[in-house]
Amino acid sequence: MGHSVAVWDQQVAMEITKDWNGIDQVTLRSPRGASTRVSLYGGQVISWRNDRGEELLFTSNKAIFKPPKAMRGGIPLCFPQFGNGGCLEQHGFARNKIWTIDDNPPPLHQSDSNGKAFVDLLLKSSEEDFKCWPHSFEFRLRVSLAANGDLNLISRIRNINGKPFSFSFAYHTYLCVSDISEVRIEGLETLDYLDNLCQRERFTEQGDAITFETEVDRVYLTSPNVIAVLDHEKKQTVVIRKDGLPDVVVWNPWEKKSKAMIDIGDDEYKQMLCVDGAAIERPITLKPGEEWTGRLELSIVPSSYCSEHLDHHFRGL
């Protein structure tokens, strides 16, 4: 059995092709037909499909697929800065760099490999990066697809600098939803959040779930490691598990902002929702030689699987 899994992982389940810009992209497939595709431009997951071929991540019809522009959709990696809360470009530079496939990564736990198709990517600091962020790092990303179609991302960032450095981080996850007004998020109730629409003022969530009637742009703080995005029309729930990522960003631009953005359709806000595992309020600080790990797992369950069961079933990593 173990041998057959290894054959599936290494020989059948991974395909490397080139996109229309000549940039490599890697497609992973599960035995049941689920798939994910990751571009070496930005190390960005650009597709995640279930075993029926339905796309689970949102990508705008107006997305610009040409460097140096980051693509609007999928799961961009925000490093070493989230948003515009520093001296770097919006969301940092990792999402605008060409990554390489890492053929010999440092080992991960056996459970991060067994029964999964995966690819390891690597981004190293460059001379160009030093001009705006003078720190030496290695950023390793493993993207894996489990036999049941669950999508896993593991980021390992190591300081190979001679001095400490700090960074913020997010998996900027664009989920594809049926209708934003029919979606709710469970697991963030009673938490404090920073509201980016009110100069990052701090509030406390009052609702028993988060629902959407207008633009939302918030950073929820000290969040649980399991949250759920319930889509009533699809009758399914995206379960988000995370580790090393204390914050959760929730964003939907709504109508007015969508019309002002060139790379998103006027009405596309109805079909998208960003829910990011992140480390923003308290940046990560690494001493020389130290490594940080941030994990994200996305899975789909029927919406009848209520939130009380979610925490019990998915507790721990």
Binding residues for substrate are 72, 90, 95
Q: How far apart are the first and last CA of the chain?
A: 24
- Residue 9 main-chain phi, psi, to 5 deg: -55, -50
Helix (H, G, I), strand (E, B) or coil at 112: helix
Sole residue written with tokens 């440092």: 106
**Binding-site entries:** 72, 90, 95
Burial class (CB in 10 A: 0-12, 13-18, 19+), 121: buried
Number of H helices, E strands in the chain: 4, 20
Strands 201-204 and 137-146: unpaired
Distance CA 95, CA 98 (A): 8
C-beta of residue 229 within 8 angstroms of C-beta of residue 211: no
Is-contact 157 79, C-beta < 8 A? yes
Evaluate whether 146 touches 166 at the Cβ level (below 8 Å): no
**Residue 260 tokens, joined:** 């002002």
Q: Omega into 68 within 30° of 0, i.e. cis?
A: yes
Whether residue 185 contacts residue 275, with contact meaning beta carbons closer than 8 Å, is answered with yes
Q: Mark residue 5 as left, alpha or beta (left: phi above 0; alpha: psi -120 to 50; beta: remaining).
A: alpha
**What CA–CA distance (Å, rounded) separates 171 from 153?**
9
Other C-beta atoms lying within 10 Å of the C-beta of residue 302: 9
Two tokens, residue 176:
């594809």
